[in-house]
């Protein structure tokens, strides 16, 4: 069997997974997991990028010999390099407040027409606007998104992988290259941004092993890892965020799409990930941290017996860390001492309804109907959320694989190496043959 290593970095942890391919099957093994704990210093929230890199190196050491390495991570955040290629400080976390109140000179309508990107305050374009004029930014000669930065440290090669670049607000959704008008509007030198590279291309070598570009935005890899049998599916890549949408052949750039805050992000094989960011399990994760990390299974069982109380889970007030249980209780009109089970039910029910809203709007705006919803990622383990999403949407939910991101990363590497072949449908057939999926049918109430 041929082995490949997937470096998969999430907002709370990173891991290195090894996938072994043979006889049309894939076997997945986690070789190393490490914490991703942001650090606040001088009033700014940073990623501990050197700690992450140390975890990556340790994971690759434990992985042993592999045919290639692929890296994916969250989107929008970046590192600045000076003329010598040295990193100018730790990358700033997208949950930091430095983009609060940042405005661009150009119109939202024109920006959407070019980039197709939903307006989110932490998008790279707003982070760069906030960074202008700082000493680090004035010294910068290169901007590298997180997976591209790690790939640069492994190989010495500079580039920008397409799917992650498409989340920045700087890429033209039609040409799939950096937008000269947007860069000019922002006052950015084009030389700051490296050439675009596509998933499946070779980046370089690390210690004699090929490093391959994959869908380096973790959602792009997760969508490859959706075991759909046809095109009539919605996906929810559910973890810290819920990325809810459809896979389309081209962008949807209507005024209605912009008003609904849908984004057109690049996918593998030239597809478009037409989606909206929904708050996801972040509020529950924060609450559980405050509650001392109780057993999630027992908490969800208790929550299933509570009556639903609905809040706007996408309220920006839930973005920052800290004090989450109190904020949820206040939003729900509940007492400050509301039980963890009641607050959990509130979060999960509200998230299921947000899933329904996004899926219904995606269908209406795109003209494509959905027969089933695939939930992948950590949220696929949350039985209550899966059932409530099926009930809210009136559609079957197919939950799994949990490791869709790593699997999508590995499938792109294996195809690039010639171990498997075919289009996305062929790649997904491997998943249907090898990965467990649990079906939740809607319950009539």
> In the chain, what's the furthest Cα-to-Cα distance?
64
Q: Which of 300, 304, 303, 309 is nearest to 334 (CA)?
A: 309
Beta bridge partners of 272: 248, 266
Q: How crowded is residue 302: how many other Cβ atoms within 10 Å of its Cβ?
A: 16
**With contact defined as beta carbons under 8 Å apart, do 142 and 80 qualify?**
yes
Alpha-carbon gap, residue 264 to 228, rounded angstroms: 20
Nearest residue to 101 (alpha-carbon basis) of 316, 279, 285: 316
180: left (phi over 0), alpha (psi -120 to 50) or beta: alpha
Q: Catalytic site residue 218?
A: yes
DSSP assignment of 264-330 equals EEE-GGG-EEEEEEE-TTHHHHHHHHHTT---HHHHHHHHTTSPP----TT-GGGSSSS-HHHHHHH
Pair 205, 211: CB distance under 8 Å? yes
Question: Are 153 and 55 a contacting pair, CB within 8 Å?
Answer: no
Residues 6+ apart with CB under 8 A from 70: 4, 5, 6, 7, 211, 212, 213, 214, 216, 409, 410, 412, 413
Q: What is the DSSP string of 55-66?
A: HHHHHHHHH-S-
Pair type for strands 142-145 and 242-248: unpaired
Closest CA to 217 of 165, 282, 169: 165
Buried b (16+ CB within 10 A) or exposed e, 72-110: bbbbbbbbbbeeeeebbebbbbbebebbeebebeeeeee
Q: Which of 368, 172, 361 is nearest to 257 (CA)?
A: 361
Catalytic option among 8, 218, 314, 391: 218
The two tokens of residue 402 are 């949990």
Residue 224's nearest CA partner among 14, 7, 425 is 425
Q: Which residues are catalytic?
A: 218
């Amino acid at each position: 069997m041929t082995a490949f290593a997937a470096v998969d970095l999430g907002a709370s942890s990173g891991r290195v997974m090894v996938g072994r391919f043979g006889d049309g099957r894939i076997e997945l093994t986690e070789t190393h997991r490490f914490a991703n704990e942001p650090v606040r210093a001088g009033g700014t929230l940073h990623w501990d990028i050197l700690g992450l890199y140390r975890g990556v190196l340790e994971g690759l050491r434990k992985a042993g010999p592999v045919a290639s390495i692929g890296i994916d991570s969250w989107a929008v955040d970046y590192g600045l390099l000076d003329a010598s290629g040295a990193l100018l400080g730790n990358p700033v976390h997208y949950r930091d407040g430095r983009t609060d109140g940042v405005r661009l000179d150009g119109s939202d309508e024109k920006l959407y027409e070019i980039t197709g990107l939903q307006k989110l305050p932490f998008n790279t374009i707003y982070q760069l606007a906030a960074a202008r004029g700082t000493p680090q930014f004035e010294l910068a000669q290169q901007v590298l998104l997180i997976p591209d930065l790690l790939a640069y440290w492994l190989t010495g090669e500079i580039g920008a992988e397409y799917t992650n670049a498409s989340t920045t607000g700087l890429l033209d959704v039609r040409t799939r290259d950096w937008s000269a008008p947007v860069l000019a509007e922002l006052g950015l030198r084009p030389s700051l941004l490296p050439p675009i590279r596509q998933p499946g291309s070779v980046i370089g070598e690390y210690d004699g092993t090929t490093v391959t570009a994959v869908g380096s935005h973790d959602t792009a890899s997760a969508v490859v890892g959706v075991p759909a049998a046809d095109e009539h599916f919605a996906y929810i890549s559910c973890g810290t965020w819920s990325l809810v949408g459809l896979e389309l052949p081209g962008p949807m750039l209507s005024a209605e799409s912009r008003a609904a805050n849908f984004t057109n992000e690049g996918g593998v094989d030239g597809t478009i990930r037409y989606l909206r960011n929904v708050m996801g399990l972040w509020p529950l994760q924060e609450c559980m941290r405050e509650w001392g990390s109780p057993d999630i299974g027992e908490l969800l069982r208790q929550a299933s017996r509570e009556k639903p109380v609905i809040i706007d889970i996408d309220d920006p007030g839930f973005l920052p860390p800290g004090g989450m249980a109190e904020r949820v209780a206040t939003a729900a009109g509940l007492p400050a001492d509301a039980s963890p089970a009641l607050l959990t039910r509130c979060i999960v029910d509200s998230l299921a309804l947000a899933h329904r809203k996004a899926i219904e709007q995606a269908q209406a705006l795109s003209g494509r109907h959905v027969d089933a919803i695939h939930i992948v990622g950590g949220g696929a383990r949350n039985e209550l959320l899966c059932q409530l999403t099926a009930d809210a949407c009136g559609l079957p939910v197919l939950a799994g694989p949990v490791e869709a991101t790593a699997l999508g990363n590995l499938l792109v590497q294996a195809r690039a190496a010639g171990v498997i072949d075919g289009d996305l449908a062929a790649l997904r057939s491997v998943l249907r043959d090898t990965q467990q999926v649990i079906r939740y049918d809607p319950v009539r109430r």
